[in-house]
Structure 1
Amino acid sequence: MEQIDSWHSTILNSLSDVGRMLGAYLPSLLGAIAVLILGWLLARGVQALILRLGEGLDRFASRMGWRRHTRRLAVQHTPAQILSAVMFWLVLLLALTLAADVLGLPGLASGLGKLLSVLPALFGAITIFLVGFLFANVVREAIVRVSSSGHAARGILVARLLHGLILAISALIALGQLGVDVSLLAALIMIAFAALMLAIALAFGLGARGTVTNMIAAHYLRRVYRIGNRVRIGDIDGEVLEFTPTTVLIETEEGVISVPAHWFEQQAAMRVDLEPNDEMET
């Protein structure tokens, strides 16, 4: 009998302790649940508001080719959807932090607080890189579009170089936003890009020497000859039909011939529609 009384007393004491613990923690637990519910409702409200206000942002991104450019990044959502989702989880994480603090869990609250302090920088870095990625693609497409068919290869090369440079700068800025020291990396990228541009400039300069020579010659030929003048240059005899930036179009009996402008300086060119004493060589 005494043993039963002892068990009964132990059970009552345990239930009493549990009751006191529940009485002590129940307000905190209810408060934490209330904070989570309010936080979830607030997060949903913020998400809906951003989706509504972000319609203009989505239209602008669509005009900039958002879906076309972000397909390779496997991004299936619009900017407003991404922003609303990020803000939803930020608000919910803030509610979790407050709930942990209400429950008297300082370790959990501190960890969530540190995560909250990092997320804005991370979100900013991702945003910077995405904007840079879009801008780089737009610049590349614009350069390729305006490049003439005769210089399409050069236009594509320049477009790719600028695309890579903008991406590199965007990545550096994004890393700097995260607190990473990118000074050495930035210096290396700038040195490499400068060396590459110098090599390309030299290649273009050497390759375009003939073009530049013809452009200069064509400039001075316009002062000496006029459309309709009859000229003889080497075996070519005909009438000046048109001046282009680098050539002279001459209409002969066989057809229209495009003569490089510098030929007029290197060979004996004669206007045959003048009097004999007015003939000239250039």
Structure 2
Amino acid sequence: MNNYADWTSTLRDAFLGLGQQVIDYLPNLLAAIGLLIAGGLLAKLLRAAAVRLSRMLEQMMLRLSRRPPPVRPGRTPAWGRLLGSIVFWAVVLFFLALATHVLGLEAFSSWLNRVVVYLPTLLVGVLIILAGILVSALTRDLVIATAPLEESHRVLLGRVVQVVILVTAIVIGADQIGINVTFLVILAAVVLSTLLGGLALAVSLGARTFVANLVAAQSLRNSYQIGQTIRIATYEGRILELTPTAVIIETAEGRVSLPAKFFNEQPAVLLMGRDA
């Protein structure tokens, strides 16, 4: 009987002690739950603000670059969704670290604290990369719209400028995050050299015809005059104009613009006695 009484007393004391611990721990538990709820609400609010800011920046870029509006206006860009997710989880981790500290989970709290301390560095690196994406796209559109080149050359030059700015931003952002960028720098140098070489080759190939016409036109000015009648290949007519790169003649069918280098490739006949 005494053993039963001792066992009952021990069990009652254990339950009373457990109940007292729960009562003592309850404020910390409620505070942690409150922090998590507040953190979740604030994270959603800041994510919505980041997404809205990304839409505003996207619209501003569209106006500056004069690009056509998207098929679905008001759609959040991919980089905006990424920024919103980063902001959301950064806030959630911050409040989760606070909650674990309040609950006294020191091991987990210490690990989360290291993550939270690293978050600003990570966020700055990501923002640098996102800024590089925005600036590179805007610069590409400006180059395509304003460069005094043929359309294909403008597009190529715009792409090269975009890649250069984007790679630079990625290297700077990765270095800010703490990633060893030596390999990235070497890779960027190789890519940049390849792109610049391709650009130089494209420009030289595109300018070859222009230069040939320009040189030939200078020579033609010493051989022909406006008003003379010529025959070259299947064309016959009176010279109306000698432009810097072409010869414009009036034929029976109408006006024809002949590239100046055409006179170096085909025999031309000056028809005497038919001058205007």
The two structures have a TM-score, normalised by structure 2, of 0.69
In structure 2, what is the equivalent of residue 278 of structure 1?
A: none
Number of aligned residues: 266
| 1:142-168 per-position Cα deviation (integer Å, ceiling 9, x unaligned) | 6667799x9555455444444444443
In the alignment, residue 16 of structure 1 is paired with which amino acid?
L
1:114 lines up with 2:114 in the alignment: yes
In the alignment, residue 227 of structure 2 is paired with which amino acid?
R
In the alignment, residue 231 of structure 1 is paired with which amino acid?
Q
How far 1:11 moved relative to its partner? 0.8
How far 1:136 moved relative to its partner? 4.3
In the alignment, residue 93 of structure 1 is paired with which amino acid?
L
Q: 1:115 to 1:11 in 2, by over 3 A?
A: same
In the alignment, residue 261 of structure 1 is paired with which amino acid?
A
In the alignment, residue 6 of structure 1 is paired with which amino acid?
D
Bigger mean CA deviation after superposition, 100-109 or 264-273: 264-273
1:230 lines up with 2:227 in the alignment: yes
| 1:43-88 per-position Cα deviation (integer Å, ceiling 9, x unaligned) | 455456656777643532565679969xxxxxx7356665555434
| Structure 2 alignment gaps of length 5 or more | none
In the alignment, residue 9 of structure 2 is paired with which amino acid?
S
1:4 lines up with 2:4 in the alignment: yes
In structure 2, what is the equivalent of residue 193 of structure 1?
A: 192
Q: 1:43 to 1:216 in 2, by over 3 A?
A: same
In structure 1, what is the equivalent of residue 208 of structure 2?
A: 209
In the alignment, residue 12 of structure 1 is paired with which amino acid?
R
Q: Distance in 2 between matches of 1:49 and 1:135?
A: 21
Bigger mean CA deviation after superposition, 165-174 or 47-56: 47-56
In the TM superposition, 1:116-265 aligns within 5 A as: 116-137=116-137, 151-198=150-197, 200-202=199-201, 204-205=203-204, 208-218=207-217, 229-233=226-230, 235=232, 238-253=237-252, 255-262=254-261
The two structures have a TM-score, normalised by structure 1, of 0.68
Q: 1:271 to 1:143 in 2, by over 3 A?
A: farther
Q: Distance in 1 between matches of 2:69 and 2:268?
A: 60
Bigger mean CA deviation after superposition, 189-198 or 51-60: 51-60
How far 1:115 moved relative to its partner? 1.9
Q: 1:103 to 1:7 in 2, by over 3 A?
A: same
| Structure 1 alignment gaps of length 5 or more | 70-75, 276-282
Could you tell me the percent identity over the aligned residues?
33
Q: Distance in 2 between matches of 1:255 and 1:172?
A: 59
How far 1:249 moved relative to its partner? 0.7
How far 1:230 moved relative to its partner? 1.1
Q: Distance in 2 between matches of 1:24 and 1:147?
A: 72
In the alignment, residue 27 of structure 1 is paired with which amino acid?
P
**Partner SS for 2:239:** strand
Q: 1:184 to 1:243 in 2, by over 3 A?
A: farther
Q: 1:67 to 1:16 in 2, by over 3 A?
A: farther
